[in-house]
Amino acid sequence: MDFDIPRSVATILLVGNAGIGKRRLASLILSEIHPSNKENKDSTNISGSLSSSTNSIQFRTSESLPAACSVFKSFGKDQGDTTTTTALARRDTTSKTPGPNTNASESTVALSVNRYDLILLMVSMTDKGSWDRCKQALQKLEPSWFLGRCAIVVTRVSAVSKYAFDRDEITDFLDDFYEVPRIWTNLDQDSEGALAAVQIVRLLEITGSYRPSLRNRYSSTTGTDTTTTAPVIPSTAALLSSARFYGSVTGKRNSMLQSVIRSPERYVVESTTLPEGESSPHKVVVSLE
């Protein structure tokens, strides 16, 4: 999807067990986007179009993704248009009005479409069931769609004595499952909850089309032709011989290594030995050249 479609409403889907902190996380995200204190807006909050008062954010909560849940791409009038959004559809079976040539028991499937810019799967380290539901939800989503639009929020990280499972289970599973982003936090602490909200807002700015993608940063459009200019990357030799590479004015790499990472010429080691014919320890200073 191209991130050039301006939007005024962003929607987040929060998936997690009851009482896991979905409302708490939603309030932290709202306070990050629309801070009440204008003085701290530039220093601690995200600045940009997402924090504008003309934009709004919506939250949907669910304890688990529906069993009859599918993901598809919605196309515009031109079926070849791939820049349109991707939607999450829920299949609902409704009764069909019987007609002269239809059976009264015949039913049809209606699609209820909701667009979600970001899906947050919440896991509590003190609840093994929340992690099981998270794995089930990941397996229901299509990888081509949720990559970059889904994240795992792990709460109750500091309650080590109350862990219901090993935290390595999350790391090992996600490393093998497309390396889905994960956010470790404690929502009961304001400082950590605010930091998690900042990370989520940065993800939402990209998935909600508020911030251009990295691939468009070096592209320029002229008329109908789009030309891409790759960033200038210096050679390895130029980097190794540049003082700017080290963040100092010491000089080139060779001189810097000689002055900073120089090996000592002599080592003095004190050891305890028992010479022959001696019953008491005798300290010998051994010099290694």
Q: Give 219-264 pLDDT, tens digit per residue.
A: 444 443 444 444 444 444 443 443 333 333 333 333 333 333 344 4
280, part of any domain? no
239, part of any domain? no
Please give the structure tokens belonging to residue 117: 């810019």
Tell me the pTM. Answer: 0.56
Please give the structure tokens belonging to residue 100: 């002269």
Cβ neighbours of 74 (radius 10 Å)? 12
For the chain, give the DSSP string: --S----SEEEEEEE--TTSSHHHHHHHHHHHHS-S-GGGHHHHS--SGGGSTT-EEEEEEESS--TTEEEEE---SSTT---S-EEEEEEEEEEPPP-TTS-TT-EEEEEEEE--SEEEEEEETT-HHHHHHHHHHHHHS-HHHHTTTEEEEEE--S-GGG-SS-THHHHHHHHHTTT--EEE--TTSHHHHHHHHHHHHHHHHHHTTSS--GGGTTEEEETTEEEE-------HHHHHT-GGGGTSSS--HHHHHHHHSPPPS-EEEEEEE--TT-SS-EEEEEEE-
282, part of any domain? no
Banded model confidence at residue 114, pLDDT cuts 50, 70, 90: low
117, part of any domain? yes
**Looking at the 3D structure of the chain, how many domains does it have?**
1
228, part of any domain? no
Domain that includes residue 28, residue range = 9-93+106-216
286, part of any domain? no
277, part of any domain? no
Q: What is the pLDDT of residues 127-172, one digit of tens each?
A: 999 999 999 888 878 777 777 788 999 999 999 999 999 999 999 9
CATH number, domain containing residue 177: 3.40.50.300
The predicted pLDDT at position 278 comes to 57
3, part of any domain? no
State the average pLDDT for the chain. 65
Largest pairwise CA distance in the chain: 117
The predicted pLDDT at position 113 comes to 54
Least confident of 31-40, 53-62, 162-171: 31-40
